Structure 1
Amino acid sequence: MQLPSSQTSPTQRRAFLAAAGATTLGLATSSPAQAEEKPAAFVAPPTGKKILLSCKLTMIAKKVDGKDLTIVERLKLAQEAGFDGVDFDDAAPYTPEQVRAAVQESGVFVHNAINHAHWGKRLTSKDEAERAQGVKNIEHCLRVAQAAGGSGVLIVVGSGNDGTEEECNERARTEINKLIPLAASLGQPILFENVWNKLHYDHDKPPEQSPQRFIDFVDSFNSPWVGMYYDIGNHWKYGQPREWLKAFGRRAVKLDVKGFSRAKNKFVDITSPEDDLPWDEVRKGLEEINFTGWTTAEVGGGDAKRLTIVREQMQKAFGLT
């Protein structure tokens, strides 16, 4: 499959990444002969939708009515609530084979993988051993995402407390460059989430800030396998989401979704009365970059009833109702 060039449109590039992930499904653990005998079941996302809605796995209740739920049952809860898929943000405890089996049994599409150990095993750390473990964690997530049939891995680059931004960028860039060949071979882009980690923005300064330092970091790799998992709520505190979306353009491969109140300086439910995030401007920004792809809630979760409320809030935010 030919890699997308820098001239590729956002829609074409996201379609390429999704197709690449689907194409590699099952190849890592099966020989050609085995594949002929037992073809891997393929769970596809819904078709015909420009914006796909998902929730984080960790938002889904582990117990309902006193009963412990299996991973398959938890995935089905998301489906029951009307989500198009799930972001497998608890990848560390599971093998790629276990995730593939859960996806096939549940019939629920998993589009992404995350390992929250990226906060502790940082790619910006001064400790070489810690950075090496961070690389191994991301390698695992890439294999989990590929096994699930997904199209990406979210990572937090590190922490600005580890040194100057230039030092942190150089350490992280060195480690991420080691991962890009595997990401490409598995069809899984590495996507940076903008978080409150004191990197690529000014943590203690007010709005209106620019996303240019995020963009410069992404572009420094000069690779179609590196992009942004833009968290709209995280940086509403620091910048205008429509402007950030326009600036990110093709780099914004996926979106995290939460509400935030600038007035009260806290995270809130999406489109709740306290949420002063300008969702009408977000919609305009998405149209302007022709965004097509996955949006994932990152708020308090629960059972199917609570998850349904979150899905409805997302639909309202994106004008899908």
Structure 2
Amino acid sequence: MNPMTRRSVITAASSALAAASQSAAQRLPIKKGVLTSMLPKEMTWKDRFQLAKDVGFEAVEGQTEEDAAVEADMRKASEATGLPIHSVMNMLHWQFPLSSSDPAAVEKSMKGMETSIRNAVAWGGTTVLLVPGVVNPLTRYEDAYKRSQTQIRKLIPLAEKNKIIIAVENVWNKFLLSPMEFAAYVDSFQSPWLKAYFDVGNILLYGYPEDWIRTLGKERIAKVHLKDFHNRRNQVVRANVPEFVNLRDGDMDWKEVHKAFADIGYRGYATVELRGGDEKYLRDVSARVDKILNGE
């Protein structure tokens, strides 16, 4: 190989590497959301929504709201500020799991989901987050699987009628512990109205988010939650203590997460799920999300 040819090969390889690096660092086409529970509660709903918008968020995620007056206030706040309520976090699935053996608990859980779907319709949202079941000393894994499937199948016609996706979330419920099982669970319903609400931070205790993202894929993932986590040694108790922390302060490999979302072509919402705070804090959180979406 003569010097000119060698130089040409090196130049071409360098250009290709630079192009690949540039592509990997492109901003993800994902919209930034924040939980309404993170916004200052002393403010009016309109002021809360305006604050979220001012610090850089593009949408909010509400929570189950039984009070029709509050539901209306939130809708008006969304309309006045132009900040959409893209999703509803169902609030009764831990206290009253769909997987419970108690019919009264299941009934309360079902009514909570019905209210959440009503909220989503009123607010113009597209999803309701659901923890599908909980495994505990009173509920075996197999029972949680079958009972939750039975109840969710009853909810799907209501979701379809209202064009609301039921998005089941991966949480610390000792249930659906692998990405393949989670994917199979979603697929078992054979419905476009049942998908996954993927929580990036919840996985770190027992898996790798980038692995789950690629296994679930764009077709199964309806929405995303962002939080960070570390499992580091605490010198006081002399043991590893799992703890949720601010974005980019934990063990998350955000560049790998960025790459995985880019690889599957996810283009939906990513909502921050952290403790609440004031304007300065929320502006910092918003900036951290920007860095994540930018691949920094």
Percentage of identical aligned residues: 35
Deviations 1:165-190 (A, max 9, x none): 21111111111111111111111100
Whether 2:108 is the aligned partner of 1:128: answer no
Q: 2:48 aligned to 38, 62, 74, which one? A: 74
SS in structure 1 of the partner of residue 192 of structure 2 = coil
Tell me how far apart the structure 2 counterparts of residues 171 and 90 of structure 1 sit (CA, whole Å): 22
Map 1:195-206 onto structure 2 (within 5 A): 195-201=171-177
Is 1:269–2:246 an aligned residue pair?
A: yes
Across the aligned residues of Structure 1 and Structure 2, the Cα RMSD in angstroms comes to 1.8
Q: Distance in 1 between matches of 2:79 and 2:64?
A: 18
Query: What is residue 281 of structure 1 aligned with on the other side?
Result: 256
Deviations 1:241-270 (A, max 9, x none): 111101000211111000111335211110
Structure that is richer in helix per residue: 2
Alignment gaps of 5+ in structure 2: 1-26, 234-241
Q: CA deviation at 1:308?
A: 0.8
Would you say 1:183 and 2:162 are equivalent positions? no
**1:110-166 per-position Cα deviation (integer Å, ceiling 9, x unaligned):** 100123222112101111111111111111111111111111010111210142221
Is the CA contact 2:258–2:295 (under 8 Å) kept in the aligned structure 1?
no
Q: Residue 138 of structure 1 corresponds to which residue in structure 2?
A: 113
2:14 is matched with none
1:57 equivalent among 32, 36, 39: 36
Residue correspondence of structure 1 range 1-321 to structure 2 within 5 A: 50-63=29-42, 69-94=43-68, 96-161=71-136, 162-201=138-177, 210-249=178-217, 250-264=219-233, 265-272=242-249, 275-319=250-294
Question: Which sits farther off after the overlay, 112-121 or 239-248?
Answer: 112-121
Aligned residue for 1:113, secondary structure, equals: strand
- Aligned residue for 2:222, secondary structure, equals strand
Higher mean displacement: 239-248 or 99-108:
99-108
Match of 1:28 in 2: none
- Aligned amino acid, residue 269 of structure 1: N
Q: Measure, in 2, the Cα distance between the counterparts of 1:77 and 1:89.
A: 18
The answer (yes or no) to whether the contact 1:77–1:303 under 8 Å persists in 2 is no
Partner of 2:4: none
Find the counterpart in structure 2 of residue 4 from structure 1: none
Normalising to structure 1: TM-score of the pair?
Answer: 0.77
> 1:99, 1:144 within 8 Å by CA — same for their partners in 2?
no
Q: So what's the TM-score if we normalise by structure 2?
A: 0.83
Counterparts of 2:135 and 2:202 in 1: how far apart (Å)?
16
Q: Distance in 2 between matches of 1:240 and 1:114?
A: 24
Q: Give yes or no for contact 1:55–1:298 (8 Å, CA) kept in 2.
A: yes
How far apart are the structure 2 equivalents of 1:229 and 1:191? 5
Give how far 1:299 is off.
0.8
The aligned residue for residue 19 of structure 2 is none
* Paired residue type of 1:77: L
Stretches of structure 1 lacking an aligned partner (at least 5 in a row): 1-47, 64-68, 202-209
Kindly indicate whether the alpha-carbon contact (under 8 Å) linking 1:271 and 1:316 is maintained by their aligned counterparts in 2.
no
- Tell me how far 1:98 sits from its aligned partner: 4.0
Shift of 1:74: 1.3
Q: Separation in 2 of the partners of 1:116 and 1:248?
A: 24
CA radius of gyration, larger in? 2
